[in-house]
Amino acid sequence: MTLGYGSRVTNLFKIAVNKMIYQVADFQIDTENFVIVKHGEPLAVEPKVFDLIVYLIDHRDRLVTRDELFKEIWAAREVSDTTLSNHIKAARKLLDDNGEMQRVITTSVSYTHLTLPTNREV
């Protein structure tokens, strides 16, 4: 599948801003401690995958382009489309999603949407 990478997050989640923790379905994404927790257990996550998830959440109110992700996540370093695709695949896997289900991260030729399931407030 070719990813076009405009990205957007829907407002189907709540944010505990004062704690810097996003609650996404069964996951707590703690931006202060750089950790993702599921059912009380911390998950192993690569730093760039973590950054990608948080960036998409932080910019859920608008589309985010592939070029913007390269610029903001990889500091405009020269990286391939495959690198971005692999990081999106890793983010999906971490959030119990995949390219077929696309219930958390939805991709098409032109856009990538991060669609987070309903959750509860932290």
- Could you read off the pLDDT of 75-91 as tens digits, one per residue? 978 899 899 989 999 99
Which fold would CATH assign to domain 7-114? Answer: Arc Repressor Mutant, subunit A (1.10.10)
pTM of the predicted structure, to 2 decimals? 0.75
Angle at 36 between CA 105 and CA 120, to 5 degrees: 75
**Cα 78 to Cα 113: distance, rounded to the nearest angstrom:** 23
- Could you read off the pLDDT of 17-61 as tens digits, one per residue? 445 788 887 889 998 899 999 999 999 999 999 999 998 888 877
Question: Which of 9-18, 98-107, 110-119 comes out lowest in average pLDDT?
Answer: 9-18
**Cα 60 to Cα 29: distance, rounded to the nearest angstrom:** 15
| Domain limits, the chain | 7-114
